[in-house]
Amino acid sequence: MYKLEPYQKDPASCLPSDRKFGLYVHWPFCRAKCPYCDFNSHVRTTVDEKAFGNALLTEMTHMASLLPEHPSLSSLFFGGGTPSLMPPWLVEQLIIHAQNLFGFATDIEITAEANPTSTEAKSMLEFRQAGVNRVSIGVQSLDDANLRFLGREHSVKDALAALDSVRTAFDRVSIDLIYAFPGQSAKAWSTMLGEALSLGLGHLSLYQLTIEAGTIFHTRQRKGEMMALDDDRAADLYEITQGMATSAGLPAYEISNHATIGQECRHNLNYWRTADWIGVGPGAHGRFAVYESKQRCLSRTAITTRRSPARWLNAVNTIGHGIEKKEIDTPRDWAHEMVMMGLRLRDGIHLDAIKTLCGPIESWLDFSAVDQYVDCGWLHHEHETSSLVTTSDGCLRLNHILSTILR
């Protein structure tokens, strides 16, 4: 069985002096609701783009006022919903406004998610002119029957044509694929993954189909339909995924995300490394720390905006932002988040760095449970470097591991 090779994480990446800062913009509208989707997405035939655009700009200004000190933005991410439905002029305005408010790191990564239709591929070429430099395309499957099952509006042919078009303008392109469909065989998935790897992309997001509460798939599953592969066979496909992607030079840097060296999504790494980011738009989240010194965290603020587009818009027009909830996380909350997110990453967590930021580690991490999982090969603990990493066997059981090591 393939094993992930743990490697040393740079401890400095956890410390305030080297922490990254990102901005997320949520465009919540879609043409149709996919039956497996639990994102904050809403079907609209028409959208008042000017009103929503102005509100995003206004809320961005408000969020900036909450952070008197911040580094330049290292990443900006347009997510959704379907951000490829945004008008390019608005994307450009938002990028310019973000640069004026926060400043851009010289190597800023600006990503937009896109659906693989010809219209949206054309928009992506205009997004490139607006400053977007990375695209993540929701291909989802290279099998038309799978796409129909997922309720997607595009075909494999559409997706490959959109990908060809987008690649003429972007150096950094990722595609999403879903696996573990009901009845999917190891051979069928291996063949599809082989086709995806042969495209020569630098980044692939390979998600196991999971059935989320509140979705149409969830309702159908409750009525007795088989909506995804059983756990054992899905685990087999996960192992095939790890082995094939690694052999092709795209090892997992996170449980479901694979990249060649340097092509990792820096924005998503910010989430998994629990760095600082703000979010604007309906249902966006933001989290940022306030530091007592270059070595120690004082507190961390967690912000959530209103999920309903209409209520969010109304709030922004009335009070300048759509914030619904603002909470101060304790250092312990933050330490928990660092472990839960960081153990998803190939480079794991650096226990000394978390201790430096958040205080005594023994009060929230059960070391006897950690040792037990080290003994059974699910975690790798390197005492000398204080790194803790999930092995490939452990990745399949991460929820269980977290439920016992955190207290």
Piece of the chain touching ligand SF4 by CB under 6 A; list 32-40, 155-163, 198-206, 303-311: 32-40
**Contact with ligand SF4 (CB under 6 A): which of 4, 15, 20, 41?**
41
Piece of the chain touching ligand SF4 by CB under 6 A; list 28-36, 70-78, 99-107, 232-240: 28-36
Q: How far is the CB of 281 from ligand SF4 (least distance, A)?
A: 13
- Of 33 and 285, CB closest to ligand SF4: 33
- Of 204 and 275, CB closest to ligand SF4: 204
Q: How far is the CB of 328 from ligand SF4 (least distance, A)?
A: 31
The CA distance from 39 to 215, in Å, is 10
Dihedral, CA of residue 302, residue 303, residue 308 and residue 310, to nearest 10: 180
Task: Note whether 307 binds ligand SF4 by CB under 6 A.
Answer: no
What is the 3-class SS of the chain, one letter each residue?
A: CCCCCCCCCCHHHHCHHHCCEEEEEEECEECCCCCCCCCCCEECCCCCHHHHHHHHHHHHHHHHHCCCCCCCEEEEEEEECCHHHCCHHHHHHHHHHHHHHHCEEEEEEEEEEECCCHHHHHHHHHHHHHCCCEEEEEEECCCHHHHHHCCCCCCHHHHHHHHHHHHCCCCEEEEEEEECCCCCCHHHHHHHHHHHHCCCCCEEEEEECCCCCCCHHHHHHHCCCCCCCCHHHHHHHHHHHHHHHHHCCCCEEECCEEECCCCCCHHHHHHHCCCEEEEECCCCEEEEEEECCCCCEEEEEEEEECCCHHHHHHHHHHHCCCEEEEEEECHHHHHHHHHHHHCCECCCEEHHHHHHHHCCCCCCECHHHHHHHHHCCCEEEECCCCEEEECHHHHCCHHHHHHHHEC
- Of 174 and 391, CB closest to ligand SF4: 174
Subset of 127-146 contacting ligand SF4 (CB under 6 A): 138
Task: Note whether 255 binds ligand SF4 by CB under 6 A.
Answer: no
Q: How far is the CB of 155 from ligand SF4 (least distance, A)?
A: 15
- Of 34 and 252, CB closest to ligand SF4: 34
Q: How far is the CB of 191 from ligand SF4 (least distance, A)?
A: 24
**Contact with ligand SF4 (CB under 6 A): which of 2, 8, 11, 33?**
33
- How many of the chain's residues bind ligand SF4 (CB under 6 A)? 11
**Contact with ligand SF4 (CB under 6 A): which of 14, 23, 25, 37?**
37
Q: How far is the CB of 39 from ligand SF4 (least distance, A)?
A: 4
**Contact with ligand SF4 (CB under 6 A): which of 4, 14, 34, 56?**
34
Task: Note whether 81 binds ligand SF4 by CB under 6 A.
Answer: yes
Piece of the chain touching ligand SF4 by CB under 6 A; list 17-25, 35-43, 194-202, 306-314: 35-43
Q: How far is the CB of 154 from ligand SF4 (least distance, A)?
A: 10
Task: Note whether 207 binds ligand SF4 by CB under 6 A.
Answer: no
Q: How far is the CB of 230 from ligand SF4 (least distance, A)?
A: 23
Which residues have a Cβ under 8 Å from the Cβ of 367 and sit 6 or more positions away? none
**Contact with ligand SF4 (CB under 6 A): which of 74, 82, 146, 270?**
82
Q: How far is the CB of 301 from ligand SF4 (least distance, A)?
A: 27
Q: How far is the CB of 34 from ligand SF4 (least distance, A)?
A: 3
Residue 132 zone, left/alpha/beta (φ > 0; ψ -120 to 50; rest): beta
**Contact with ligand SF4 (CB under 6 A): which of 2, 8, 11, 39?**
39
Which residues form the interface with ligand SF4 (CB under 6 A)?
30, 33-34, 37, 39, 41, 80-82, 115, 138
